[in-house]
C-alpha cells in the first residue's frame, strides 16, 4: 500500500494565535486577549479585576475568582493583540502556503469575529467578508480549506454574560455560529471539524492533582454541552450540504506503562480510555460509552443528560476522526523518585528511551503509529492527523536564513511512522503540521517557541518587522508534498 494520490498534505493555523487585530472591524475580545507571555520556567497568566475593582492575575487555564471580570493592566504586554498579524498579511501568507504546495490548510474561524456579542445581537458582516476572502485566497492556490469551528476563541461576552459552556444556552449560541459559517462558505469548504481538542476539558480531572469534585463537575458539564453542540452541528452540516465531511478532533498522547507490573498496564489503559476515548466514543458512536458511569462515579460527577441530548448525540455521528499528536507519557502506580515529565498535559514519568525537546516534550514518532493503529482498530473510521510539530527557538541569520534541521528530523520520523501505519492498512486521509507559520503558543504565550515553516520577525515583546522568511523546513516540506511523501531527505 502507499499514500493515496488525493492525500491531504497540509499545515495548520488558528485565528486566536495568528490573526491579531484583536479589536478591529467589530471583533470582540477572547480570553487569549487577556493573556500574558510566559516562558519555559514561568506559567502564562491572564489578567482581571475582582469584584471590588482591584487588579489581579491568575493562571491562564484556571477559572477566574468568583465575581471577577477580564481586564487589561497597564503594566502587561498582551502578545495576542497583534500576534503575527495574519489579519493584514493573509494574502502574502497564503501565497507562501501555495508556493510550499499545501494541499490543505487547517484554519479556524473566530467566533468572536462573526458573533461578537452572541447571535441575538447580529452578525458582524466585516468578519464574514474577511473569512470569505481568506477562503477564496486558499482556493486561488488550490488549497483545500479544512475549517475548525472552535479553537480557544469563545467571545468573552458569552463567558461573562451567560457563564460560558456551563450554560446550556451555549449550545444554541454555537449552533447559530456554525450555521452561519456552514451556509456562508458552503461553496468554499468541504472539510469541517467542530471543536479543537475537545477532550481538553476532561483531561484536568484525570491529572494527578486531586481536583475538587466541584471542578470536575464543572469541566464535564461544559464538555457535555460541547458534545451535544458538536453533534447538532454535524447533523446540520450534512443537511446544508450532503457532500460535507465533518469530524471530531481531540488531543492524543500515547500512554505507556512505566513498568511491566499489570497494575501499570491497567492504569495506562484506563488513562487512555478516560483522556481520549471518553469523547471520541461519544462523537463516533453517538452515545456515552459503557464505562462513562464509572468515570462519573469516580469523580463524583452527575450530568444532566436529557432524552433530547441522547437523540442529538445519536443523530450527529462524525465522518472522520482528527487528532493532534506531539508526544507520549509513561504511567505508573509506583512511587518513583525521578522527575516528572514537564510537557504540555503531561501526567507521567520520563521515558528513558526517548529524547525530549527544549520545552521537555517527549519526542516519540513510534507513538504516532501506535495511536493510528489504536484508533483505526477501535473505530475503522478515516483518520486525519491535525497538529504534529516541534516547538523550538529558531535562529535568524544575518542573511535571513533559518537552518531548522531539528524540525525536519522530527517531522521526517513522524511521517515515516505514519507511512508504516498506512502500509499496514490504516486509513489515513491527511496530515497537517503545527504550524504553517510562526504564531503564539497557547500554553506559554510565546512566539519564540516557534513551530512554523515560515519565520515571522517578531519577538515575545512584540518587537520586529513582521517580515516573513522561509525556513529550511519550508523547502523540505515542499519536496515531501511534491513526491507524495516518497522523498523525505533533506
Residue positions annotated with a catalytic role: 197, 387
Q: DSSP for 184-230, please give it.
A: HTTTT--EEEEETTGGGGTGGGGSTT---HHHHHHHHHHHHHHHHHH
Q: DSSP character for 462?
A: S
Q: Please choose, from the candidates 146, 366, 356, the residue with its C-alpha nearest in 3D space to the C-alpha of residue 254.
A: 366
**Angstrom distance (rounded) from CA 166 to CA 159:** 9
Report CA dihedral (402, 405, 410, 416) to the nearest 10 degrees: 120
d(CA 372, CA 227): 23
Whether 205 and 288 have beta carbons less than 8 Å apart is answered as no
Which cell numbers in the block locate residue 111?
A: 467566533
**Collapsing DSSP states into helix, strand and coil, what is residue 431?**
strand
Gap between the Cα atoms of 73 and 489, Å rounded: 48
Residue bearing cell 477572547: 30
The CA distance from 461 to 231, in Å, is: 40
Q: How far apart are CA 245 and CA 242, in angstroms?
A: 8
The Cβ of residue 461 has, within 10 Å, a number of other Cβ atoms equal to 11
Helix (H), strand (E) at residue 10: strand 8-12
Structure letter (DSSP) for residue 201: G
Q: Is residue 39 a contact partner of residue 45, using CB atoms and an 8 Å limit?
A: no
Question: Please, what is the end-to-end C-alpha distance for the chain in angstroms?
Answer: 24
Name the 3-class secondary structure at 331.
Answer: strand
215-218 — which CB contacts under 8 Å span 24+ positions? Answer: 216/299, 216/300, 216/301, 217/299, 217/300, 217/301, 217/302, 218/63, 218/166
Q: 362 - beta bridge partners?
A: 356
Length in residues, the chain: 490
Spatial contact of 213 and 157, defined as CB atoms under 8 Å apart: no
Amino acid at each position: 500500500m502507499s499514500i493515496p494520490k488525493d492525500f491531504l498534505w497540509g499545515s495548520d493555523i488558528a485565528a486566536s494565535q495568528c490573526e491579531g487585530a484583536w479589536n478591529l472591524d467589530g471583533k470582540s475580545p477572547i480570553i487569549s486577549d487577556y493573556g500574558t507571555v510566559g516562558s519555559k520556567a514561568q506559567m502564562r497568566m491572564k489578567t482581571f479585576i475582582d469584584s471590588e475593582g482591584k487588579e489581579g492575575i491568575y493562571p491562564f487555564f484556571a477559572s477566574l475568582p468568583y465575581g471577577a471580570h477580564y481586564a487589561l493592566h497597564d503594566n502587561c504586554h498582551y502578545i495576542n493583540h497583534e500576534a503575527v498579524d495574519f489579519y493584514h498579511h493573509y494574502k502574502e501568507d497564503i501565497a507562501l502556503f501555495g508556493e510550499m504546495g499545501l494541499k490543505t490548510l487547517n484554519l479556524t474561524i473566530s467566533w468572536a469575529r462573526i458573533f461578537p456579542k452572541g447571535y441575538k445581537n447580529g452578525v458582524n458582516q466585516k468578519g464574514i467578508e474577511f473569512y470569505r476572502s481568506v477562503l477564496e485566497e486558499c482556493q486561488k492556490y488550490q488549497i483545500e480549506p479544512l475549517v475548525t469551528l472552535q479553537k480557544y476563541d469563545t467571545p468573552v461576552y458569552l463567558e461573562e454574560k451567560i457563564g460560558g459552556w456551563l450554560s446550556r444556552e451555549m449550545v444554541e449560541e454555537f449552533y447559530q455560529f456554525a450555521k452561519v459559517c456552514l451556509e456562508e462558505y458552503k461553496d468554499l469548504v468541504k472539510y469541517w471539524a467542530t471543536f479543537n481538542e475537545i477532550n481538553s476539558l476532561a483531561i484536568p480531572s484525570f491529572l494527578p492533582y486531586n481536583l475538587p469534585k466541584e471542578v470536575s463537575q464543572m469541566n464535564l458539564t461544559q464538555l457535555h454541552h460541547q458534545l451535544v453542540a458538536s453533534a447538532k452541528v454535524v447533523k446540520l452540516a450534512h443537511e446544508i450540504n450532503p457532500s460535507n465531511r465533518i469530524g471530531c478532533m481531540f488531543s492524543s498522547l500515547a500512554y505507556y506503562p512505566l513498568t511491566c507490573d499489570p497494575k501499570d498496564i491497567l492504569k495506562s489503559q484506563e488513562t487512555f480510555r478516560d483522556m481520549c476515548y471518553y469523547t471520541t466514543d461519544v462523537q463516533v458512536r453517538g452515545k456515552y460509552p459503557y464505562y462513562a458511569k464509572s468515570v462519573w462515579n469516580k469523580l463524583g460527577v452527575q450530568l444532566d443528560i436529557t432524552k433530547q441530548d441522547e437523540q442529538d448525540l445519536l443523530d450527529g455521528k462524525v465522518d472522520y476522526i482528527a487528532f493532534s499528536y506531539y508526544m507520549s507519557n509513561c504511567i505508573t502506580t509506583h512511587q518513583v523518585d525521578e522527575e516528572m515529565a514537564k510537557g504540555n498535559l503531561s501526567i507521567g514519568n520520563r521515558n528513558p528511551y526517548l529524547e525530549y525537546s527544549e520545552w521537555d516534550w517527549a519526542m516519540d514518532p513510534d507513538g504516532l503509529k501506535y495511536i493510528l493503529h489504536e484508533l483505526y482498530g477501535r473505530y475503522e473510521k478515516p483518520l486525519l492527523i491535525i497538529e504534529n510539530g516541534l516547538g523550538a527557538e529558531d535562529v535568524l541569520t544575518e542573511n535571513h536564513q533559518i537552518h531548522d534541521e531539528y524540525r525536519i528530523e522530527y517531522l521526517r520520523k513522524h511521517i515515516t511512522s505514519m507511512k508504516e501505519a498506512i502500509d499496514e492498512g490504516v486509513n489515513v486521509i491527511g496530515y497537517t503540521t503545527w504550524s504553517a507559520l510562526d504564531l503564539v503558543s497557547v500554553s506559554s504565550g510565546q512566539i519564540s517557541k516557534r513551530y512554523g515553516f515560515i519565520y515571522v520577525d517578531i519577538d515575545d515583546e512584540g518587537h520586529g518587522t513582521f517580515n516573513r522568511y522561509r525556513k529550511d523546513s519550508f523547502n523540505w516540506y515542499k519536496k515531501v508534498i511534491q513526491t507524495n511523501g516518497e522523498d523525505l531527505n533533506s
